Structure 1
Amino acid sequence: MLIIQKRIPNSRFYIQIIRRKAYVLFYLQVLFYFPAQAQNKNDLQHLENLYQSCLDKGEDMNGCARTYYLQMDSMLNVTYKKLRSTLNAEEQKQLKTEQLQWLQKRDKYFAENKKKINYSTGSNSPIPSDELMLMYDQHALFVQQRIYYMVNKLQKKENAQ
């Protein structure tokens, strides 16, 4: 006879479930909001305002920064696809090369940031929440610069037509 032990989850377990549900809802919002809207500087400002509002609450600031980074990353992907769709074959090839070079710079920058944090906290130590929040914030700003570049390129392309 198989005995199943009922496990009573602790509060951390419930918090993890709530966070996962929040992230799923966030991704659904991004998935349906960004493709339907033109990517422009107003969209970036809207995300910055949401991020600041989240930080102003003073609760789970690490989660705010992580969400903001994920929003920036998602918006970058959508903006890239939208820009790519407006280009001819040669321009698409050039954009892809440019994007691959940027991705290499991004990966190097992210690795350097993580290395700095590991150096300051000790490589085997868990990363303190404040350090992690700052890392996500720096990553989001790095990605945001690329989005601004692409949005400007997209707007120039649309204005030329």
Structure 2
Amino acid sequence: MRNLILLLAIFLCSKAYSQSSPTALDTLENRYQQCLGNSHQMYSCAVTYYKELDSLLHHTLQHLYSSLNVNRQQKLQTEQQAWEEKKEEYFKKIDERVEKMHKRTMEGLDDEMISTDNKAAFLKERLTTLLNI
């Protein structure tokens, strides 16, 4: 009976978490769009958004690892390592592109803002995938 109650409590907590996480993602997205709309410092908006997405991604992974069985944890870990490799490759390409653009444009922060926004979109895509597990 205690095990049943414990399983029910875990299920309800995980359900509440899964329902609140998309809300957290939506909140981050809304704040980012508001910041872009209200600010002349778009690069600062993009950096803040990127950091917040990265933090949410980290916490989501921690939650998933703690709530999955060993086999699913190993599968997620393998998938995450593959994603990390893709991320590093993608970010390197973006950084190289920005470096080339700096030589042609007057406003380096515009290039940095676009780069950071693209990196944030890459994190958001992974986060969305994880939230649907």
SS of corresponding position for 2:28: helix
Q: Say if 2:115 is the partner of 1:128.
A: no
**Letter aligned with residue 123 of structure 2:** V
Residues 117 and 127 of structure 1 are in contact (CA less than 8 Å); yes or no, is this contact kept in structure 2? no
Question: For residue 130 of structure 2, what is the aligned residue in structure 1?
Answer: 150
Of structures 1 and 2, the one scoring higher in RCO (CA 8 A, sep 6+) is 2
Identity %: 33
- What are the ranges of 5 or more consecutive residues in structure 1 without an aligned counterpart? 1-36, 154-161
Tell me if the contact between 1:118 and 1:127 (Cα under 8 Å) persists in the aligned partners.
no
Native 8 Å contact 1:69 1:140 kept in 2? yes
Partners of 1:66 and 1:126 in 2: CA distance: 20
Rounded to whole Å, the distance in 1 between the matches of 2:37 and 2:107 is 23
TM-score of the two chains, using structure 2 as the length reference: 0.80
1:84 to 36, 53, 65: 65
The count of residues paired between Structure 1 and Structure 2 equals: 115
Where has structure 1 moved over 3 Å in runs of 4 or more?
A: none
Q: 1:115 to 1:127 in 2, by over 3 A?
A: farther
Letter matched to residue 116 of structure 1 = R
- Deviation per residue, 1:25-65 (Å, 9 max, x gap): xxxxxxxxxxxx82522211110000111111123211100
**Considering only CA atoms, is the larger Rg found in Structure 1 or Structure 2?**
1
- Would you say 1:60 and 2:60 are equivalent positions? no
Q: TM-score, normalised by structure 1?
A: 0.67
Q: In structure 1, how many angstroms separate the alpha carbons of the residues matched to 2:106 and 2:82?
A: 31
State the distance in 1 between where 2:107 and 2:79 align: 33
> Cα distance 1:118–1:133, how it changes in 2: closer, same or farther (>3 A)?
same
Q: Which runs of 5+ in 2 are unaligned?
A: 1-15
Deviation at 1:85, TM superposition (A): 1.1
